[in-house]
Amino acid sequence: MTSQRILFTGGLLLFLLSLAYGFFYDAFLLPARHQSLLYNLDMALNMAAKGDIAMSSAFAGQFARESGAGDLQARIPLHLALAGAMTAIPLWLTPRLAVSERMKRIMALFVVTGGLVLAAGDLAAVAAAPAAGRYLILAGYAWLALGLAGYLLYAGLFVWLHEEERHAKRG
């Protein structure tokens, strides 16, 4: 598979996963999350009004955890769409770069896999392993940055080298 196909199909896959997870989240997870948040907030306020500070604090803590998990889950489609959009510039640059196809494939895989790792990190942070999820999120960002930096480095070198050739032809 060529680097252009990896970038095109990977970017399309990331966008489609973004749409699918966004639909799943909005249709099934969000209503239940809102109900849970309202319940925990209501119970925290009721327990505080009754003077049971320990129970009020417990419900407020559960409200905070649910709210944080909701924020992480809402970022998953955003991260997938962002990674899908990040494939556009490398897709445009790939045919213009005089780099080996193997290196282009490696950089394309870094970009596409980075987006998937980023979303998997958000999912892991919500599911059960917040610490591991944070590390996966950082790894996803690093992979995206590494792939894009590779493309931009090669593009900069390509422009710089061809600029020297253009000046040599004029002089």
Residues 118 and 135: their CA atoms lie apart, in Å, by: 9
Q: How do residues 148-167 score in pLDDT, each as one tens digit?
A: 999 999 888 888 888 777 77
Secondary structure (3-state) at 96: helix
Query: Would you state the pLDDT for residue 138?
Result: 95
What ranges make up the beta strands (E) of the chain? none
Report the predicted TM-score, pTM, of the whole model to 2 decimal places.
Answer: 0.83
Query: Would you state the pLDDT for residue 109?
Result: 94
Tokens 């940055």 -> residue: 145
The list of the chain residues with pLDDT below 50 reads: none
Q: How do residues 114-126 score in pLDDT, each as one tens digit?
A: 999 999 999 999 8
Query: 140: which DSSP letter?
Result: H
Query: Would you state the pLDDT for residue 171?
Result: 61
Most distant CA atoms of the chain, gap in Å: 88
Query: Would you state the pLDDT for residue 10?
Result: 96
